[in-house]
Amino acid sequence: HANLGGPTPDQRKSIENANDRKHPEGRGVAVCAEFLVTNAELAEENKAREARGEEPLTREQYLVERYFGEDKVGLELGTSMGGVFMREASPHVAHMDGISNGITEEEIGKIENVCENCDVRLGDAATLPYEDNRFDFVFAVHIHRYFKEHASYEEAREYFLKVIQEIYRTLKPGGVAILSPALHTPTYRLTDPTNLDHGGGNLDSTDFTEEERALLPEGIVIEAMKDQHRRYGEESFSSIRITKPA
């Protein structure tokens, strides 16, 4: 059964080759910030800073200031590619966990050998092996592409809801999760439920049916974060923010 934990070996190889060209060492947090921080929230923050006579923040600095902290515990879903994000985030937090269904023991060892406060596991995002109320933040970038491994849109959508339930369970009260699912460009904006590439068929939609809402945890706050992606134009990118009320 496919899951959100990470890529298959073939997918991982392809992504690693692309990352070698696009995302050099030392840029993990910066690259992820492009998908976890919207233009609107960064602009709002910097407008407030300007009014206080403070220097504006970069997207990466905003991510670090808003979500990280020496007492924070975070989770990265879909850890791979050498755990670049985990390793770069770890100096800013108390502890980083990572989980992937496509990571090898060798890769886990390499990450943990250079990151003392990191713990990486092979596992499934729909059955997270962590206690309730553990994480201050949960981040995931470009993981919805793996939904296409499911047999049907309905099966993938059901799995998506299970992942949301698990994320909510493991978030601390006041915790936040951001899932960066798919690029909704004209090429990828798919309406055919049988086409699951890049979250096709509105797999990642937050317009839940009545039946789906009945499966969501009571009190959960889910927002669609529409944004203008640097390559694809206005409102071409969408992330999902999940908040557990304090």
pLDDT digits (tens, 9 = 90+) for 27-67: 578 777 877 888 888 999 999 999 999 999 998 899 999 99
Work out the angle at residue 89's Cα, subtended by the Cα atoms of residues 85 and 95, and round it to the nearest 5 degrees.
115
Residue 53 DSSP code: T
* 22-26, 111-115, 196-200, 225-229, range with greatest mean pLDDT: 111-115
pLDDT in tens, 180-235: 764 443 333 333 344 444 344 455 567 788 888 898 999 999 887 766 555 445 55
Q: What is the rounded CA–CA span in Å between residue 69 and residue 132?
A: 20
Amino acid at 229: H
| Full-model pTM | 0.79
CB atoms within 10 A of CB 209: 10
